Each structure stands twice: as C-alpha cells, then as structure tokens.
Amino acid sequence: MVTKEYCKEICEDFEYVENGEASDIVVRGKEDVFVMLCTENASKATKRRIGMGSTLAKSIGAKFLVVAKRIGGEEMLDEVVYERYNAAVVTPETARQLLEGDEVYIRKLRSMFVVEIDGQLLRKRRLESGLSIGAVAETIGVSRKSVYEYERGYARVHVDIAIKLAELFGEDILRSVNLEELRGEELKVPPHTPMEARILSETDSVHVAKGKVSVGGFYEDEEFTAVVPHGGKEDLHWFADLSKLIKRKAIVVGFKDVPKELEESPVEVVDNLQEFFKVLKEESGVER
C-alpha cells in the first residue's frame, strides 16, 4: 500500500518532514523540494486534497507530487508522469528518480504516452544531417506536414515517434516533463485572520488551508513563507523543521512566545506586521 509510511521509506535518504492534512511528506531532493501526497489509487485523491497539497507547495516554492500505484483501474508505469486535477501523479519508483534529480520524459495525456520535442533543435539537426523533411517523415512513418509541425516549436509526439527521432538526431532533442506546468489547482480559502488578510493583500502570495503554513509567496523579488497565530503552537515546531528544507525567508509573525526550536532554525521571529514588512523590505531592497 502507498501510505505515508511507505513514502517515508522513499524519502529515507533525504531530509524530510511529515506534514498533516495538506500533504503527507515535504522532502528536499538533490535538486528540488517536493510536497508529496501518498495514496494507493490516485483517483481517490479528491480535488480539495490535491488543492491543499499544491497550495502548500506553491507557498514554500516546492513541486507537488501525488505518489500512487494505480489511477482508476489502470496500473501505472514507472518513468511516466500522469495527471489528476492538473497535478503530477507518479509511481513510487518514479518519485525516487525525481528525488535523485533524474529527468522523466514520458507524459500520459488522455490515452496517449507522449514526449515533448524541441522543434528548433530538431530542425537544426535535420539541416546539419542534410535530410529533407520528406526523408525524415518516411523514416519515422509520419506525414511531411507532421514533421513540419514538429519543427515549428515545442511539440508533443507519441513516444514511439520520439524514440525514432532521438535515434536520428540525438536524445537532447527530447524535453523532460516540466513539473512546473503540473502544479495542481490552488485551493481558494478565505484568510482566517486580519493579519493573514493584510499579508495577502500586500504581497503576491497564497493562503494555505491546514498546511501548518499560513501564507507564502513573493514580496517584490523576495520569496517568503510565513505563519501567523490561528493554529496550535505545535505547528511552530514543524515550521522550524520546514525552514531548514526550504531556501526562502521563513518568518513567524505575532506569537507571544515561541518554542526554543525556532532559535536553532533559520526562522525569523517578529512581533507584528510592521516588523514583518520591514524584514521583507530589507531583504528585497525596497526603500522604506
């Protein structure tokens, strides 16, 4: 079964923290931070649950993954990115690959397995090889019009065609799946407090529902993640651990007292919103 405990085994060689309702695991891979939601069948992951996880990922600058073995009645394949509610769905083995910094090239779109082609590089390699569009079309078994369309820009082609093109012109004409395009659908939840409302109104940020993070996003060019009072103080222990994973400004705002763990973490503690915006302005270089 693909449970949170199973996902912890996937992440055992990496630094991670367990989350809660918004996701199961937040983990720093070799190149990226990932927010993971683990389930045996991806079709059982509701739109709201995916929205919560993807919003948490957006607030901390992470990529979002649903880790599963099945999607509906279909057994999922390794090294393929599937989709649910615009979020990336992968097998446990593929999740391990992504944590290692490996690229995945195949994407399941509806009933087809496709790979993205760099059309400009394809055209350059074809001209360098002296092959005509017609010759390429005949070799890979498609129409001249199809090859012409491939060369006009980034195109997604059936995996069998991608393999033939890579054999002709090199694997670097293939583009890996861009997980930035599969961030899920942000869960729109009204702010719980006036403090959250003001941060949202004065920054380019998102509000996280039940994610142990309150708000995260950008102020000018400065990335930040913040937590304000409205949950339990146990969330601050988790936030301290999270701050060691994410490479962005982490701020606790407006708590009367904070746990000792925050003193040993990269978290900045401020008493009020005036100090909060002062910190962000100093970091971003905005004149006060």
Q: Residue 1 — very low, low, confident or very high, per pLDDT cuts 50/70/90? A: confident
Above 80 in pLDDT, residue 231?
no
Indicate the range of 96-100, 144-148, 278-282, 284-288 predicted with least confidence.
284-288
User: How much is the mean pLDDT over the chain?
Assistant: 92
Three-state SS string over 133-165 comes to HHHHHHHHCCCHHHHHHHHCCCEEEEHHHHHHH
The reported pLDDT for the residue numbered 155 is 85
Gyration radius of the chain's alpha carbons: 22
Cα–Cα separations (whole angstroms), residue 98 to 67, 223, 233:
12, 23, 33
What is the full DSSP assignment across 37-60? EE-SBGGGS-HHHHHHHHHHHHHH
Q: Is the pLDDT of residue 162 over 80?
A: yes
Q: What is the pLDDT of residue 2?
A: 85
What amino acid occupies position 143? S
- Averaged over 52-64, what is the pLDDT? 95
Average pLDDT score over residue span 245-253: 92
Give residue 287's pLDDT: 47
Q: How confident is the model at residue 68 (pLDDT cuts 50, 70, 90)?
A: very high
Domains and CATH numbers, the chain: 4-104 (3.40.1350), 113-175 (1.10.260.40), 194-284 (3.40.1350)
On the question of pLDDT at 198 being above 60, the answer is: yes
Q: For residue 89, what pLDDT is reported?
A: 98
Tell whether the model's pLDDT for residue 142 goes beyond 60.
yes
